[in-house]
Structures are given as C-alpha cells and as structure tokens.
Amino acid sequence: MSSDVSGVAGGFRSAGAKGSIRIFDTTLRDGEQAPGASLTIAEKLEVARQLVRLDVDVIEAGFPAASPGDWEAVHRIAQETRGVAVAGLARCKDGDPQRAVEALRVAERPHLHVFISTSEIHLQHQIRMSREEALAEAVKWVRYGRQELGRDAELEFSAMDATRSDPDYLMQVVEAVVEAGATTVNLPDTVGYAMPTEFGPLIRRAVDLVGRDAVISVHCHDDLGFAVANTITAIQNGARQVEVTINGIGERAGNASLEEVVMALATRSAAIGGHTTGVVTEQIVPTSRLVSYLTGFTVQPNKAIVGRNAFAHESGIHQDGVLKNPLNFEIMTPQSVGLNSNRLTIGKLSGRRGLQDKLKSMGFDIQGEALDVVYRAAIALADQKKEVTDADLEAIVGQQASGNVSLPDAPVALEGWSVTSSHGGSSQGNVALRLAGEALTAEGTGNGPVDALYGAVDAAVEPTLGWHPQLVDYEIRAVSGGEDAQGQVTVRARRSSDDGASESVTGHGLSTNIIEASLEAYVHALEKLLADESVTAATPASATP
C-alpha cells in the first residue's frame, strides 16, 4: 500500500468532508447507549436536523439490527436528511449488515459501518473466534457492503478494542479490510485504555500502512479522561476522521466530546497540523442544550465550551481583565460557540416574525407548525411572568422537540388535576386523563403533592394497561432566576411490569407551577412508554466499538 499520507485528506474530501478533518457524530448511536439516554424516533429526528445545522460530516443514526425501533430511526433519518452522510452500525455477523443496508439504501450518502473485535480478550471471551476466523468475517462483510451499496458508498470497518489488540495482528486486519473495499478504518479505544503517548504511534503505523487507500478514523472513550487528548493526538499522527458525541455522552464515562475537539481545532489549529473542520461552531451551544434537554443529562457547570461557567468570571482580577479586553482571559468568544448577548425581549405583544428572528439569533431555525407551537407557548408564558428570557425560550424549544405538546390526537392527554396538601399530613391528588380516547379519573395519596398525583395517574391507567409508569429518577431545576421562573422537570420511568429489565424513557414538563410541570413530565413519560418505538432494545456495552 502507498505510504503517501498527503493523499488521504484529498481522498476523503471527495467523499463529502467539509474540512480536512471529518466529523463523525455518534450521539444518536453511542451517545444513546448511555444508561437512561433513550430517545424516541421523533427526538432522534430532531437531533439529526440540528446536527445538519451544525454541519457535521457523518451522522451515525443508530444500530439497525438492535430493534425495530432503531431500524426505523436509522431509515427515517437516512430518508429525510440531506447534505450529510448517514451511517448505520452492524456487527460482522449474518443478519446485522443486511438490516443496516436495508435501512441505509434511501440515504443520499449511505455510510455502512461494520465491526468485529480484534483483541485477544474479546476473541477468547466475547466473540469466541480465532484470529483467522475474525479476519475472515471482517473481510466477508466488508465485501458484502461494497457489493450491496456500490462503489461510491462510504464503507467503514472498526476493529473493536483496537488499543488492547496485538499491533501486528491489528495491522493485518487493517490491510485486509482495505483490500476488501473499506474506505475508512476506525481504530477505537473501546474501553478508554490508551495513553496519548502510545495511541499516537499506533495511529501513525496504520496511516503509513494504508496511505491514500483509506482514511484512518478514531473513536475514543473517556474512562481515564483521555478521550479528547487521544483524539487530538490521533489527528497529529494522520487520522482524518474523528468519532465524537455532543456533550461527550456515551457508554460508561462517555466519548470524546465534539465541542471540545472542534474548538481545539478552531482555536489551536496551527499546533494540530493546521487542520480544520466544517462545523458551524455557532451551533454548538444550541446543539448541546437540545441534546441535554432530550436525554435529561444535565451538562456540568464547569464543562469545557458548553458549561454555564465556561465564560463566567468571578475573580476580580479576571473580571477586570475581561472588561479591558476579553482576550485577557478568554481564548474564544462566547459568540463563536453560539452564546449570544442579544437582549431582544419577547413579550405578549411580540409577533411570530420577531420570535423567529430571536430564535435564529440563538441558533434555532424554526419554521412552520413548529414555530406556531413555540409561539403559542411563549405568548402563554408572557401572560404569566414579567420577561420571557433566552433560557425560557430554549426550554420551550426543547419541549417542542421532545414532542411534549398538547395535540388533539395524542395517545395520552392530561385534562385536569387537583391536589391538597398540608404540613405533617398526607396529600391527596385527583387527575382526569384521556387515554386513547377514553376518559379516566382517579385519586391518589402520597407523602407530598407530586407523589399523590403520580399515584393518581397510576391508579387511572393500571386497570386499562396492566401496568403503570415506575419512577426511576426525578429532577427539577429553575429555568431562569426570579420568583416567577419556570420549573423544568425531568423524570425517567419504565413500565412497572418490566421488573427493571428495560431501558427507561425520559419525560419533560415545563411550567411556572412546579407541581404542574412534575405532572406533565410524568404523563409525557407515560406517553413515550406507550409507543413501542420509544424503548429500543439495549445493546451490551461490550458489543459496540
């Protein structure tokens, strides 16, 4: 194989990359494998649309063979998404690649991603194959993908647990799959084991081996906190695709964070070989907040780039320096990642055009029926509080994206509630619901108003469904400051009949009345549990790169 590394970037640019480094976003696949991060198909589509605005190169939409719901999500994203490659993951195992190809055929730019383990521990104790058998399966399914999707499709192979594999055997596999038709070879640090000083030379060896015949990619996990460092090191050693997630979510400790890798390249490009990405960095914060809202995973305050303290300065020396010149203590501007200081106020007399312009300045391009939904919610909120803040609007947009809006044909509709509670005594709650068109009412008691109302919902739906939502987690936070702030409630729940075996779903509620927000979130979770596609089959952590 050629050892001319300079041709790699040019080769993959012709495949659709917008910068010298291809950004492969796996939020919807590996990110969703974070426990509790399950998304509905509608939520996945909303994230995919935002990833298009962010202008990533590849969206890994899911694992089509994992469940019917995951297949449908990949298929719909492939069908509806334009201007970006759409990837589906598959094991090198009969059945998986066929399902992935079936889901991806409708994509403008299909990207089949097949994988098999190459480390001795995985070969012996997980897939139970010899080295020769694993190599044969890798070649077989790469050839299958090339035959099925044609010469122009992107075909990626991943050597799972590459960093704990015998390097000589790993390179044998890399060479074989490229000869079989792989255009990208991914060397994942599946368990976050690698150190930058050893990961760099491994990547350089693979790059020198494949030359201009394929792109070397990396997919780094953060078990030891080195995911971003390993990713940057890989770029410095010739990798030209990086697999990342929004907010760094993913299995166990998560993945390399898209925003950190992208802004490292934007801020320190010269130190990283002069490389660039095509990411629209002003969309980073809106994307981060959307993913955080839909998954229910709160971003830590001190998180690089997107944490609420990322551009906050409390020290007097720092404040003085920033006021004199922000570059004294800020290596990037807040505006460069989508934090906007625009103070256009939205009130009850505001029009749709003003709201749309305001949302656009915040990074949200919302039109049509979605704009109508957000507008109605914003005006209703303006009747209840003095000022609708940016944070309020972000929460409303997130609520709309999650499908938590009142629609006449919704399977569950909350029609009314009441609750009484007193110091030292139990609380009593009453709810009126409509479930698939049937009016239901029930009472409940509890050790507080929220507990009582949740008990009332359970009592209302149990006779019809044979199960009720089982609360796994409950979180409430104020969206903005002030006594009239909205309360944003996130709950996680699963079916009570599942005995904890299934993935939980996330429900959201938003109101200036925290009891109502709590009830809305619980009913929203119930609605998602009712939809078969809402809960996809869990894939063991050891089964993916």
Do 444 and 367 reside in the same domain of the chain? no
Is 160 a domain residue? yes
Please give the tally of structural domains in the chain.
Answer: 4
Is 342 a domain residue? no
In this prediction, residue 323 carries a pLDDT of 61
CB of 100 closer than 8 Å to CB of 88: yes
CATH code (residue 444): 3.30.160.270
Asked whether residue 15 carries a pLDDT value surpassing 80, the answer given is no
Enter the pTM of the model.
0.82
In this prediction, residue 3 carries a pLDDT of 40
Do 38 and 111 reside in the same domain of the chain? yes
In this prediction, residue 373 carries a pLDDT of 84
In this prediction, residue 315 carries a pLDDT of 53
Residue 145 parent element (H or E): helix 131-149
Contacts of 327 (CB under 8 A, 6+ apart): none
Is 129 a domain residue? yes
In this structure, the number of other CB atoms found within 10 A of the CB of residue 135 comes to 18
Do 452 and 356 reside in the same domain of the chain? no
Do 282 and 383 reside in the same domain of the chain? no
In this prediction, residue 136 carries a pLDDT of 98
CB of 378 closer than 8 Å to CB of 393: yes
CATH code (residue 148): 3.20.20.70
At how many degrees (to 10) do helices 196-210 and 227-236 cross? Answer: 40
Do 294 and 314 reside in the same domain of the chain? no
Do 217 and 161 reside in the same domain of the chain? yes
Name residue 56's amino acid. V
Do 388 and 474 reside in the same domain of the chain? no
Is 340 a domain residue? no
Is 331 a domain residue? yes
Using one digit for the tens of pLDDT, what is the confidence trace for 19-56? 799 999 999 999 988 877 778 888 899 999 999 999 99
Distances (CA, A) of 143 to 150, 160, 427: 10, 19, 64
Measure the CA angle with vertex 339, ends 335 and 344; round to 5°.
100
Do 385 and 451 reside in the same domain of the chain? no
Do 186 and 263 reside in the same domain of the chain? yes
Is 346 a domain residue? no
Do 425 and 394 reside in the same domain of the chain? no
In this prediction, residue 409 carries a pLDDT of 54
Do 361 and 319 reside in the same domain of the chain? no
Using one digit for the tens of pLDDT, what is the confidence trace for 60-93? 999 999 989 899 999 999 999 999 999 999 999 9
Do 374 and 521 reside in the same domain of the chain? no
Give me the domain span that covers residue 478: 412-534
